[in-house]
Amino acid sequence: MRSMGRRLCTEAKPPPSLTPPTAATLTSPPTAATLTAPPTAAAATQAKKVQDDFDDDFDEFAETPIPEGPPPQLGVLGAVCAGVLGVCGFSVYRGYEARSWPMVQGKVLGWQVEGNLYSPVAKMTYKYEADGAEYVAEEKFGIVQFGPTQIMTNTVVYDLNGSVDVNVCPSDPAIHAMEPGWIGPLNSRVPANKLSEQSLKNIPAPQLPK
């Protein structure tokens, strides 16, 4: 093995020696003239061609019209969400509208209790005065306790001949809202009747469910 390796080493030819001009070219740093020399005509032509191709592609892209198509479909879920938001917004607006009306003091005239002992509902009759005229209206709502002289909801107690807050529409006193909250009704408001147009016999006395 040693003799074979020695033979291979002795038979290998030494690399060709560099001529002095070539060695000087490889070892000498670039001169200022080499760094500042202008590009050749071929390099300048190639760079101009690349720039022209880029400008042509950009102009073609900018002039390409955006395709017009049908608007994106909301789908069933989107339509349901839009409907729910619309209903909620309208209900909040109705509550804000009623709370912005002037408030007057009304009087509880009587009520009728419907339903059963587990889910009673009171239809209360009350009157209020606006613009020199008296109006009679009814309101139907659920109650938790009731008696001959008093009914009670989760938050309010109404006494017979007691007071009740009524917000009246300025443009039409017959349009009103009894103690409006933040959420208003979705259906149209039922106008009140003038007391002169309704007989006092139609005003119900307090009645309990049978």
Residue 145 predicted with pLDDT over 80: yes
d(CA 141, CA 123): 7
Give the CA distances from residue 188 to residues 60, 87, 177, in Å, rounded to whole numbers and listed in that order. 59, 14, 11
The candidate with the shortest Cα–Cα distance to 141, out of 157, 127, 128, 161, is 157
pLDDT at 37: 59
pLDDT at 139: 92
Least confident segment among 62-76, 98-112, 113-127, 132-146? 62-76
pLDDT at 98: 85
Ranges of each domain in the chain: 102-202
Least confident segment among 54-68, 102-116, 140-154? 54-68
Percent of the chain with pLDDT over 90: 30
Mean pLDDT, rounded, of the chain: 76
d(CA 138, CA 106): 12
Neighbour-count burial of 124, counting CB atoms closer than 10 A to its CB (0-12 exposed, 13-18 middle, 19+ buried): buried
pLDDT at 72: 61
The candidate with the shortest Cα–Cα distance to 178, out of 121, 111, 94, 103, is 103
pLDDT at 5: 44
pLDDT band for position 97 (50/70/90)? confident
Residue 31 predicted with pLDDT over 80: no
Residue 53 predicted with pLDDT over 60: yes
Percent of the chain with pLDDT over 70: 65
d(CA 115, CA 5): 116
Q: Tens digits of per-residue pLDDT, 170-196?
A: 999 999 999 887 877 777 788 888 877
Dihedral sign for Cα 114, 117, 121, 124, please. positive
pLDDT band for position 123 (50/70/90)? very high
Residue positions counted in the chain = 210
27 or 44, greater pLDDT: 44
Q: Tens digits of per-residue pLDDT, 60-86?
A: 766 677 766 666 666 777 777 877 887
